[in-house]
Amino acid sequence: MLITFDLGNTTTGVGVFQGKKLLADWKIKSDREKTADEFGIILCNLLVHAGLKCEKLSGAIISSVVPPLTPIIQQACEKFFGLKPLVIGPGLKTGISILYENPAEVGADRIVGAVAAFEKYGGPCLVVDFGTATTFDAISEKGEYLGGAIAPGVLISAEALYLKTAKLPRIEVRKPKTAIGRTTVASMQSGLYFGYVGLVNNIISEMSRELKAKPKVIATGGLASLVVEDIKSLDFVEPNLVLEGLRIIYEKNKRAEKK
């Protein structure tokens, strides 16, 4: 079995694969204060709860946008599972050409999501990842990572309204009944929800125009469910896209080792 880690700013996605089958997946808090021992105990408990045996794990791979957390998860894997994880970064084969001016600037999760999207759906395609930030990634017909866009996530925007104004409250982000709000909370929800939907739709439209072809649009990320019903240009919703990409990259590198 393979255990995969998608270390994000707010949460960490964990998935366990048997071949191509995702046996179990979880979201845990990306807590930089936890030790390797604490993470190891959490992971062991999750595996046991899912009816999976820790000793059956044969490989591990990590994608991280939280550098301080990466060595902690590495240590947990080594101590509790006896595994030295692969880490997405220079020297690891991804099978995708990165056409960013500085490839090292691209978040590991964005590359991994692009790999999975192209593998599953071909190109051209766009990946919209609804996380702490919302990222948009364009992949060409040839499978080249072209670049993309980064926007504040909807929860960041909601928190900014609360923190940076004197009288606006902290609210739940959800679709309001009407765009014309009749209370402060409803007005905020309208601005956040419909403004965010407009942002996503417009960026997809602009990127599609620049690609000069209709791309397949794939949504992923923990916050996708908040707005996907009103993003009309979405073709697929893949909650575990990055975990799938990690599996694909792990298999590519293991095959390369055998040659």
Cis peptide preceding 71, ω within 30 of 0: no
Range of the domain at 198: 97-245
CA distance 39 to 45: 10
Cα–Cα dist 187/229, whole Å = 20
Mean pLDDT (whole number) for 113-129: 96
Q: Look at residues 231, 218, 25, 11 and name the one whose alpha carbon lies nearest to residue 135.
A: 218
Residue 48 amino acid letter: V
Average pLDDT over residues 12-32: 96
Q: Same domain for 25 and 145?
A: no
Look up the CATH number of the domain holding residue 83: 3.30.420.40
Q: Final residue of a domain: which of 57, 87, 117? A: 87
* 102 and 181 inside one domain: yes
**Shared-domain flag, residues 79 and 131:** no
**What are the two backbone dihedrals, phi and then psi, of residue 77, each rounded to the nearest 5 degrees?**
-65, -40
Cβ atoms of residues 4 and 17 within 8 Å: yes
The total of structural domains in the chain comes to 2
230 is catalytic: no
Task: Measure CA 107 to chain center.
Answer: 10
Between CA 252 and CA 249 the distance in angstroms is 5
Q: Are residues 102 and 38 in the same domain?
A: no
251 in any annotated domain: no
The answer to whether residue 252 sits within a structural domain is: no
**76 and 164: one domain?**
no
pLDDT tens for each residue of 180-204: 999 999 999 999 999 999 999 999 9
Mean pLDDT of the region 132-141: 95
Is residue 223 located within the same domain as residue 164?
A: yes
Claim to verify: residue 66 and residue 124 sit in the same structural domain: no
Say if 92 falls within a structural domain: no
* E strand intervals along 43-118: 59-64, 86-87, 97-98
**Is 114 in the same domain as 213?**
yes
- Give the model's confidence band at 226: pLDDT under 50 very low, under 70 low, under 90 confident, else very high: confident
CA-wise closest residue to 246 among 59, 29, 32 = 59
Are residues 32 and 53 both part of a single domain? yes
One domain, residues 49 and 106: no
Taking the CA atoms of the chain, what radius of gyration do you get in angstroms? 19
Last residue within a domain, chosen from 87, 109, 134:
87
pLDDT digits (tens, 9 = 90+) for 52-93: 999 999 999 999 999 999 999 999 999 999 999 999 988 888
**250/5 Cα distance (integer angstroms):** 12
Encoded tokens for 145: 């990572």
Q: What is the CA angle 212-217-219, rounded to 5?
A: 150
Q: Are residues 132 and 207 in the same domain?
A: yes
Q: Classify strands 133-139 and 125-130 as parallel, antiparallel or unpaired.
A: antiparallel
- Please indicate, yes or no, whether residues 36 and 68 belong to a single structural domain of this protein: yes
| 242 vs 245: CA distance, rounded Å | 5
Residue 50 lies in a domain: yes
Q: How far is CA 138 from CA 99, 123, 141, 153, 218, in A?
A: 11, 9, 10, 18, 11
Q: Over 80: is that where the pLDDT of 165 sits?
A: yes
Catalytic residue among 6, 37, 109, 235: 109
Domain presence at residue 253:
no
